[in-house]
């Protein structure tokens, strides 16, 4: 893992430097434990180089690195949920979204550009894609993920994605070919937490 930080000037007086470093340490610790909450493109903090060995769903992969395996959550997007047993049924197009991501990255060696870890210890990252776009962007463009506008956009780093999502909706791509699509963050609350799953919705289909 390569960490990307700026250099601190060495010409400052020792006392001023110590004060600045102390303040920076507090700010760093605060940022480290905060969830991904950036409106607009955030700054990449570190990189992870590895091979994709698993695609769990439409927005989560596992990278095999020299130091071991790292679970990566794609930043700025939220894909339909796949099923996790009877108490947590999957959404329509959950498996289709997983297969879409799998087709783009499975078995590839790549460098993930990362911002932080989420509450599940997953690295929150962008994945390089083709045509100058991220894989995150491509999932939304193909109609297999939402721009993650939950909590008033607190988790949205790429602010171009809502417009990309609107275009995919208009063209009825991917999951937008079926009426009544429910955003994953609403599904998790209504179905998984409240037990109010959409009637007749096939788990993780098609």
Q: Could you tell me the two tokens for 3? A: 């960490």
Whether 172 is in a domain gets the answer yes
Q: What is the CATH number of the domain that holds 170?
A: 2.40.50.90
Collect all residues with Cβ–Cβ distance below 8 Å to 101 and sequence separation of at least 6: 55, 57, 58, 59, 61, 74, 79, 135, 139, 144
Say what the pTM is: 0.74
Distance CA 8, CA 38 (A): 24
The answer to whether residue 17 sits within a structural domain is: no
Of the listed ranges 32-46, 151-165, 176-190, 192-206, the least confidently predicted one is: 32-46
pLDDT at 41: 52
Catalytic residue list contains 73: yes
CA distance 198 to 181: 10
Within a domain: 9: no
Range with top average pLDDT, 89-93, 108-112, 148-152, 184-188: 108-112
> Which is the catalytic residue, given 81, 102, 141, 165?
81
Domain presence at residue 80: yes
User: Is 122 in the active site?
Assistant: yes
Mean pLDDT, range 77-103, rounded to an integer = 88
Please check whether residue 156 lies inside any domain of the structure.
Answer: yes
Instruction: Kindly give the pairing relationship between strand 46-57 and strand 109-117.
Output: antiparallel
At residue 29, the pLDDT reads 31
Active-site residue, selected from the candidate residues 73, 98, 102, 141: 73
Considering the domain boundaries, does residue 25 fall inside one? no
- Specify the number of domains making up the chain: 1
Would the pLDDT of 23 be above 60? no
Helix (H, G, I), strand (E, B) or coil at 21: helix
Q: Which of 70, 98, 102, 122 is catalytic?
A: 122
Q: How many residues does the chain have?
A: 206
**CB neighbours of 125 closer than 8 A, spacing ≥ 6?**
48, 72, 73, 74, 75, 112, 113, 114, 115
> Is residue 204 domain-resident?
no
**Residue 146 falls within a domain, yes or no?**
yes
d(CA 96, CA 135): 15
Alpha-helix runs per DSSP H in 39-134: 94-105
Higher-confidence residue of 190 and 31: namely 190
Range of the domain at 138: 46-193
Distance from the Cα of residue 115 to its chain's centroid: 10
Q: In the chain, at which residue ranges do the beta strands (DSSP E only) sit?
A: 2-3, 46-57, 60-65, 68-74, 77-78, 109-117, 123-126, 146-147
């Amino acid at each position: 893992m390569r960490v990307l930080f700026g250099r601190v000037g060495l010409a400052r007086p020792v006392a001023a430097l110590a004060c600045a470093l102390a303040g920076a340490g507090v700010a760093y610790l605060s940022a480290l434990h905060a969830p991904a909450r950036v409106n607009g493109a955030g700054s990449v903090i570190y990189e992870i180089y590895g091979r994709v060995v698993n695609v769990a769903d439409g927005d989560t992969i596992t990278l095999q690195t020299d130091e071991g395996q790292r679970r990566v959550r794609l930043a700025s997007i939220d894909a339909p949920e796949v099923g996790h047993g009877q108490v947590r049924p999957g959404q329509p197009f959950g498996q289709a979204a997983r297969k879409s991501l799998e087709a783009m990255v499975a078995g590839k060696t790549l460098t993930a550009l990362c911002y932080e870890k989420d509450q599940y210890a997953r690295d929150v990252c962008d994945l390089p894609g083709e045509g100058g776009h991220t894989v995150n962007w491509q999932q939304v463009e193909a109609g297999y993920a939402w721009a993650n506008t939950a909590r008033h956009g607190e988790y949205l780093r790429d602010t171009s994605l809502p417009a990309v999502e609107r275009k995919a909706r208009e063209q009825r791509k991917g999951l937008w070919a079926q009426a009544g699509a429910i955003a994953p963050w609403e599904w998790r609350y209504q179905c998984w937490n409240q037990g109010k799953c959409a009637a007749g919705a096939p788990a993780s289909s098609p």
